[in-house]
């Protein structure tokens, strides 16, 4: 069944303070969705990893927070977009421990593990878009 | 500039992280804490994270770095009060947090620190696992 977007909001990610604001917005949305504490923590942690990636590797960007429905299920979909350098090798970027920066290389792979659905699009020179979804 | 307070408690330093830290604040804490360890000749550091609602890879790495740096400065570190949801998430995230001693609360953390410091004095310098 197709996913229907119930509500949406967007936030800019330009500085490390914005990463904190994204975490807080995701926490609010997770509570509104009725997620339990462990699931809230997973979504907020995943959003923190991806927001930091957007800032550090994408040079800043935008996150779209969407409440979605799929028939009987409802969930939270977060899409992080940047117009940065892009990822030349997505499979490699998804490998645990692989990093081009000074992180631990857990951002993408960790966010994927913490989510029910994960999508990534990236093109060198154009940017990166990562989408995660957690169903209730 | 915003800072996380570091309290001296006898021979130990106590850091209670109560805010949702942005990355720069985490790095400031690292600098401040290493400075305070040397200034007070502290042999133990307790980091209370019971108010932290998430620990992501950045904060996890910061905690591990603090433990390593403190060790080089002859101080042991114990992270106390991690919330269960945070522990579950950290494992799923793939952050092993090896090399970090943990305890359930500040009191147990103090006991763990005393043990760790005694072990260190017995010539076992590899007290950070």
pLDDT at A103 exceeding the cut of 70: no
Does residue B25 lie in a domain region?
A: yes
At residue B59's C-alpha, the angle toward residues B56 and B63, to 5°, is: 130
B58: Cβ contacts below 8 Å, ≥ 6 apart: A48, A52, A103, B23, B26
pLDDT mean over A104-123: 91
DSSP code string of A39-107: HHHHHHHHHHHHHHHHHHTTSSEEEEEEEEEETTEEEEEEEEEE-SS--S-HHHHTSTT--SSSS-S-H
Does residue B127 lie in a domain region?
A: no
Q: B69-91, pLDDT tens digit by residue?
A: 999 999 999 999 999 999 999 99
pTM of this structure: 0.90
Which phi and psi (to 5°) does residue B11 adopt? -90, 0
Of A20, A40, A110, Cβ closest to residue B57: A110
B27: Cβ contacts below 8 Å, ≥ 6 apart: B62
ipTM score assigned to the predicted complex? 0.89
Does residue B126 lie in a domain region?
A: no
pLDDT category at A97 given cuts 50, 70, 90 is confident
Instruction: Residue B57: give the domain boundaries.
Output: 6-121
Q: Looking at the complex, does the CB of residue B27 fall below 8 Å from at least one CB of chain A? A: no
Quick one: pLDDT at residue A24?
96
Q: Collect all residues of chain A within an 8 Å Cβ-Cβ radius of residue B21.
A: 20
- How close A8 gets to chain B, by Cα (Å)? 24
Which phi and psi (to 5°) does residue A73 adopt? -95, 150
Tell me the Cα Rg of chain A.
Answer: 14
Does residue B128 lie in a domain region?
A: no
| Domain ranges, ordered by start, for chain A | 4-135
pLDDT category at B1 given cuts 50, 70, 90 is low
CA-CA distance, A21 to A57, in Å (whole number)?
19
- Protein fold of A4-135: Heat Shock Protein 90 (3.30.565)
Does residue B1 lie in a domain region?
A: no
Do residues A46 and A132 touch, judged by C-beta distance below 8 A?
yes
Q: What's the structural domain count of chain B? A: 1
Alpha-carbon distance values, A81 to A63, A64, A103, A128 (Å): 6, 8, 20, 6
CB A114 to CB B92 under 8 A? yes
- Check which CATH number belongs to the domain holding B57 and give it: 3.30.750.24
CB A38 to CB B88 under 8 A? yes
Quick one: pLDDT at residue A54?
96
Quick one: pLDDT at residue B23?
82
Q: B19-40, pLDDT tens digit by residue?
A: 888 888 888 999 999 999 999 9
CB B54 to CB A23 under 8 A? yes
């Amino acid at each position: 069944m197709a996913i229907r977007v119930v509500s949406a909001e967007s936030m800019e990610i330009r500085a490390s303070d914005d990463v904190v604001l994204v975490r807080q917005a995701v926490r609010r949305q997770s509570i509104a969705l009725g997620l339990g504490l462990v699931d809230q923590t997973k979504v907020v942690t995943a959003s923190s990893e991806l927001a930091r990636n957007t800032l550090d590797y994408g040079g800043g960007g935008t996150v779209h927070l969407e409440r979605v429905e799929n028939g009987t299920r409802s969930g939270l979909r977060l899409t992080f977009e940047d117009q940065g350098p892009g990822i030349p090798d997505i499979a490699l970027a998804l490998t645990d421990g692989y990093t081009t920066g000074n992180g631990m290389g857990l951002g993408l792979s960790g966010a994927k593990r913490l989510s029910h659905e994960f999508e990534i699009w990236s093109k060198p020179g154009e940017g990166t878009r990562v989408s995660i979804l957690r169903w209730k | 500039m915003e800072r996380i307070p570091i309290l001296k408690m006898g021979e130990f330093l106590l850091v209670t992280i109560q805010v949702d830290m942005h990355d720069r604040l985490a790095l400031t804490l690292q600098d401040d804490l290493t400075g305070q360890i040397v200034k007070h000749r502290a042999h133990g550091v307790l980091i209370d994270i019971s108010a932290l609602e998430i620990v992501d890879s950045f904060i996890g790495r910061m905690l591990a770095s603090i433990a390593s740096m403190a060790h080089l400065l002859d101080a042991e570190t114990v992270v106390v009060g991690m919330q269960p949801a945070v522990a579950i998430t950290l494992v799923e995230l793939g952050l092993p947090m090896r090399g970090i001693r943990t305890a359930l609360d500040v009191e147990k953390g103090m006991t763990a620190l005393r043990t760790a410091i005694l072990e260190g004095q017995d010539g076992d310098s590899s007290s950070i696992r």
